[in-house]
Copies of this chain bind each other. A is one copy, B any other.
Amino acid sequence: MEDFLPDWSGGTSACKECLSGRNGLFRSNNGHDRGLITALKQKAATVPPGTDIVSEGEKTPGLFTVCDGWAVRYHRLHSGKRQILDVRLPGDSFSLAGALSGVAAHSVQSLTVASVCMLSARQVQTVLKSSAGLAFAVLQRSLEEERRADARSIMLGRMSAEERVGYFMLDIFDRLRRRGMTQGARCPFPLRRIDLADAVGLSKVHAMRALRELRATALLEISGRELVIPDLVKLAKVTGYVPA
């Protein structure tokens, strides 16, 4: 979308937290594995909202982790329609498949100002091929992503507009909560209406209608750039949401 080119000159050992922290991709309590991880050199960059960090079909330099800010994985169809595949929150990684194959499978764009760490494809491959423990940890993370992808298929294929929006919000809220990024019933929600619509497979106008109805029944509310879910259990019941 924007022509901004990320400046990857940021420090060469940016945030270890991204890799081995509580939410990191390479979790390990094995000494040897920890050694491998701390030897990795990361590059960091901070990008403005609307920046394409990786572009579908193009060469991708490695594996990325969101340190701060929000981003979306998305695909644009020939018709111009866009489907948002997933929201990436702080601590989430993306483009692992791209790092292994060399070509980005989909585009990723920042929604807010975002700082992102990058690990070279070569390093990723080396580490994964030399440690069964780390490869296993990453595999488990990948399987968890598959489970979420299945849940999205169910949402897109078989849920009503209201259910989709409610489900989507719960997923975001729940993931933020595990990161300690919620305050009571509130959490940040920087997506614009069109982003929400493209994530749940609806038109902007119809997503608005669903939102209005959910607000009318006090199930959720968006005000400013903030989401409020007064009763998680109630909303989960309505949408059939099951936490991870």
Using a CB–CB distance below 8 Å, which chain A residues touch chain B? 73, 75, 77-78, 81-83, 85, 96-97, 100, 105-106, 128-136, 138-140, 142-147, 149-150, 152-154, 156-159, 200-201, 240
Contact = CB atoms under 8 A, between A and B. Distances in A.
Task: Tell me if A's interface is mostly helix, strand, loop or mixed.
Answer: helix
A113 to B, nearest CB: 26
Please tell me how many copies of the chain the complex holds: 2
B85 A158 contact: no
A44 B53 CA distance: 47
Given A96-B143, A132-B129, A135-B132, A153 B149 contact: yes
A128 B150 CA distance: 23
A82 B135 contact: no
23 contacts: A81-B158, A83-B153, A83-B157, A85-B150, A97-B144, A100-B140, A100-B143, A105-B150, A106-B150, A128-B139, A130-B132, A131-B132, A132-B132, A135-B135, A139-B139, A142-B142, A146-B146, A146-B149, A149-B150, A149-B152, A156-B156, A157-B200, A157-B201
Contacts of A135: 128, 132, 135-136, 139
A136 B130 CA distance: 9
Contact of A132 (B73, B105, B128, B149): B128
Contact of A75 (B73, B144, B154): B154
Contact of A129 (B73, B136, B143): B136
Contacts of A132: 128-132, 134-135
A165 B104 CA distance: 26
Contacts of A82: 158
Contacts of A131: 132
B201 A156 contact: yes
A140 B129 CA distance: 11
A244 B130 CA distance: 27
